[in-house]
Structure 1
């Protein structure tokens, strides 16, 4: 498919366009998308905030975010000929979490809910391609390109400007009827569809997400310092995690849901109809020690087609080592950590040594109080 969208005009009148839009939304919902809105290909208003974010260095090692700002602001520069963007969301909760609760099972390995099943990116793009095919069957040929967190796109801003929700103080999109446990996708099109309009924000004076963040990564409302964010540290960052952040990471080995779990709007979060989000290999109830016993071959087998593959084996074991250091004292944990010292790279070994120190410190405290 061509990367340039043609300027072909679809021969439809305004009333027909409204009807076509309604039909597209219905088809999107039938494909398993939880919502569908039509966005104007314009994200200029996001640039000032984003430049401030970059200026403060809050993006950490994600240097790619510094590139293609012009294309982020003007999607028609990314895909020439774009006239409208079909924005969709997929809910990913398998079961509704208890309202305003944070999990407390220190020997349990916590993996962000979106990552417990298959990687959603292929599922999202595949269904967007099907949607494009269905539209072609109805109106004739036009150009379309699907995206799912795969290009320099302000996807949250586009969806927000078209009324899918508002940006919460944790910087995630919140929908009044569905909370925030969803992922986004876009279909750039050469169709001149009627645009949807933005909704209003409803965070009010609530600061629950800011207060609950284990590493205080939400430095002010609507501004996140990724260098402190557990999701960034356990997924994107490949280096030595600062000691002052390790205890806050707790037993979270891939991502973090805390700011969403505490959000009052997630009492309305919907469960998914998409099988790919259902946990595989027991990743919703696996222990830290079970993960620690994985070798690289087991990691590759268990993360095939999974978002967890993104972090890589050594970085994943670094995260598990931190979790073991934060777990209650256990002779077995100390023995397992010592036994694995020679099996991992230097970065992981630094975190193993820290974990052993943390366990030994807890052992001394236990003896002193027993």
Structure 2
């Protein structure tokens, strides 16, 4: 076998579900789509998208010496239906990917293992590894490398993967034979568009992040717009609705890394318990979790919105001290939630 075939075999035995290769210049249309997205202000407060559009839209500009991009997918398919928790209104819905260990750490370590293997085989090779922490458009690159396609929900999905996947990239100076890009296979299905509680998809294959619950609970700073709060339900970190209903998940690959499996205390935690977290308690509870990066204030703000949507007046007791919280967004959310529970 050649170097590429050996590389694929090694990556698969290392825990990745699928591997593909493309050229750094394989996504010429991405820059235009990104520019339109930003021009329409659909990126919300994610200013880094506008600031680094040049690199993000043209991977060859990020590292001109790179000759190949190795795209790798790691599965984190849930073992229960993530939509079930939405009916438990006094419990918190946390996105599946955030219920286990921080995927940035897990996937990056595995990428480095593959990268070191490549350098051992080609000692003159240079590599750079990326996991959602650099201006790299992983999803278009993954489609160009044949891993899957960007569905109508704009996430990557594959006929043999489903859409519960993390993506990682290895840029390298080694010339590797590129794979054929994957075509789109969504057909007439609109399940992901129809289920979105905030109608965040202006059209198929388009997302307005300003209405996306994942964006609102993770990236958005300050109070959430009044007209969106009730639509958030009990989702306090991310949202899995559009992913969970994709019919291609019947072919989803089971996750292989136990570190990415859900922690029991994060499957459906009590809103009342989460609302009482101070900064130290928050950092202790979410050590090693991607949730830690949003900080206590934004997290408790989200919990307050969920309490306001719970319809459970008994939860009002945990809101009282938060109505005068030092963080204005938390205090605002607590007052809004208290009013909701009082009206109900």
**TM-score between the two structures when normalised by the length of structure 1:** 0.89
User: Is 1:115 aligned to 2:94, yes or no?
Assistant: no
Aligned residue pairs, count: 343
CA root-mean-square deviation: 1.6
Q: Which moved more, 1:267-276 or 1:291-300?
A: 267-276
CA distance in 2, matches of 1:272, 1:192: 30
- Per the alignment, residue 314 of structure 1 pairs with 297
- Per the alignment, residue 357 of structure 1 pairs with 339
1:53-68 map, 5 Å: 53-68=37-52
- Per the alignment, residue 28 of structure 2 pairs with 44
- Per the alignment, residue 69 of structure 1 pairs with 53
The alpha carbon displacement at 1:101 in A equals: 7.0
CA distance in 1, matches of 2:205, 2:115: 34
- Per the alignment, residue 320 of structure 2 pairs with 338
Question: Alpha-carbon deviations, 1:210-231, whole Å to 9, x = none?
Answer: 1110100111111111010000
CA distance in 2, matches of 1:102, 1:160: 32
CA distance in 2, matches of 1:361, 1:88: 50
User: Is 1:273 aligned to 2:266, yes or no?
Assistant: no
1:169-318 map, 5 Å: 169-280=152-263, 282-318=265-301
Q: Which moved more, 1:294-303 or 1:100-109?
A: 100-109
CA distance in 1, matches of 2:111, 2:124: 16
User: Is 1:84 aligned to 2:63, yes or no?
Assistant: no
- For the 8 Å contact 1:165–1:174, the answer to whether it is kept is yes
Question: Alpha-carbon deviations, 1:208-263, whole Å to 9, x = none?
Answer: 11111010011111111101000000000111101100011000000000001111
Question: What SS does the corresponding residue of 1:177 show, helix, strand or coil?
Answer: coil
- Per the alignment, residue 149 of structure 1 pairs with 132
The alpha carbon displacement at 1:69 in A equals: 2.5
CA distance in 2, matches of 1:211, 1:351: 28
| Bigger radius of gyration among the two | 1
Q: Unaligned regions of 5+ residues in structure 1, if any? A: 1-15, 363-370
- For the 8 Å contact 2:148–2:158, the answer to whether it is kept is yes
Q: Unaligned regions of 5+ residues in structure 2, if any? A: none
The alpha carbon displacement at 1:36 in A equals: 0.6
Question: Alpha-carbon deviations, 1:176-213, whole Å to 9, x = none?
Answer: 11210111000000110000011221111111111110
Question: What SS does the corresponding residue of 2:266 show, helix, strand or coil?
Answer: coil
The alpha carbon displacement at 1:136 in A equals: 2.1
Question: Alpha-carbon deviations, 1:115-143, whole Å to 9, x = none?
Answer: 11111112212111111111222232310
- Per the alignment, residue 10 of structure 1 pairs with none
Question: What SS does the corresponding residue of 1:219 show, helix, strand or coil?
Answer: coil
The alpha carbon displacement at 1:96 in A equals: 4.9
